[in-house]
Amino acid sequence: MEESNHSTVDEFYLLGVTNDGIVVLILEMSDLHSPMYLFLANLSACDLCYSTVITPKLLYDMFLKRKSITFIGCTFQLYFFTLLGSIEEFSTMLSTMAYDRYVAICHPLLYVVIMNRTKCILLLIAVYAGGILTAGIHTSSAITLSFCGSNIINHFYCDIPPLMDLSCSDTYINKTIIFALTLVLGFVSVVVIIASYIYIFITIIQIQSAEGRHKAFSTCTSHISCVALFYGTAFFMYLRPSSGYSGTQNKIVSIFYTVIIPMLNPFIYSLRNSEVKGAVNFATS
């Protein structure tokens, strides 16, 4: 019997999960060019950068016995981690998205007028400016400390609490500044979110049809899920008393909001949003 010809395969090509990330999808699909998706694109980009600051170093260190980072490297990691975390959480990216949902549901006829292009750009500028300011304060509070004893950080990245514990300086003022800044900015953002959703729920209750109520509420569930995940872990991490800190607990909680939550956010918005799912189906068809 004659043997058929076969070519030798010495490599394979992977298509990956998708060629269309949320940011690219929103830029390319004209149906998604609205304030809601503008904020979502920024949140997705922030999530991508946020996890990139921590995850590559974490994965690389898993294969090393001697896990080290330079002082400069630690400073940059702390700054960008704080910057991106502040943009997403304490500098009101999530509260800006809550306000957008409030306008869309409570004032639908005025939505285009209220959430115009200029206002959206100004809101984003305020968010990023607030993040830069917050990160600057947090990082300067940490790097001005004196480190004259052990140089072993009981964590998998350069975070503020373990650096404070490692310092031989008096950290009372530094901890007070960080605690107050986190408390004020965090709760201001939470108040905006809660106030927005109080008005949203009142408006939804007044909608006559069950289908209308379901459609209005479904536009908010993704955002509520992201808010609950991020704020729950972050407040648990940074607003506990010093006596409540445990190295193991900190690491577990940190894994959630530095790796898992940024990974989950795009999936939460994609799976719960019919327009995004429609755009994905169109782009992949």
Q: Quick: pLDDT tens for 185-221.
A: 777 888 888 899 999 999 988 888 888 888 777 778 7
Q: Which residues in the chain belong to E strands, given as ranges?
A: none
What does the alpha-carbon distance between residue 187 and residue 192 come to, in Å, rounded to a whole number? 8
Residue 99 pLDDT exceeds 50: yes
Structure tokens at 2: 């004659």
Cβ neighbours, 10 Å, residue 211: 9
pTM metric for this prediction: 0.77
Q: What angle do CA 233, 244, 80 make, to 5 degrees?
A: 45
**For residue 92, which of 126, 118, 122 has the smallest C-alpha distance?**
126
Q: Quick: pLDDT tens for 4-52.
A: 555 676 676 554 444 446 666 666 665 566 787 788 778 878 888 887 8
Q: Is the dihedral of CA 48, 53, 58, 61 positive or negative?
A: positive
3-class secondary structure, 9: coil
Residue 282 pLDDT exceeds 50: no
Residue 107 pLDDT exceeds 80: yes
Structure tokens at 44: 């997705």
Tell me how far the alpha carbon of residue 29 is from its chain's centroid: 23
Check if CATH label 1.10.760.10 holds for domain 22-278: no
Q: Quick: pLDDT tens for 54-88.
A: 888 888 888 888 888 998 999 999 999 889 888 87
Question: Is the distance from CB of 4 to CB of 26 less than 8 angstroms?
Answer: no
Q: What is the pLDDT of residue 279?
A: 47
Residue 248 pLDDT exceeds 80: no
What does the alpha-carbon distance between residue 281 and residue 224 come to, in Å, rounded to a whole number? 25
**For residue 222, which of 128, 100, 86, 55 has the smallest C-alpha distance?**
100
Structure tokens at 90: 């304490």
Ordered DSSP codes for 117-169: HHHHHHHHHHHHHHHHHHHHHHHHHHHTS---S----SSSS--HHHHHHH-SS
Mean pLDDT of the chain: 78
Q: Quick: pLDDT tens for 123-145.
A: 989 889 888 988 998 898 888 88
Q: What is the pLDDT of residue 175?
A: 82
Residue that wins the pLDDT comparison between 163 and 21: 163
Q: What is the pLDDT of residue 218?
A: 77
Helix axis angle for 35-61 and 93-106, nearest 10°, is 150
Cβ neighbours, 10 Å, residue 256: 18
3-class secondary structure, 212: helix
What does the alpha-carbon distance between residue 192 and residue 101 come to, in Å, rounded to a whole number? 12
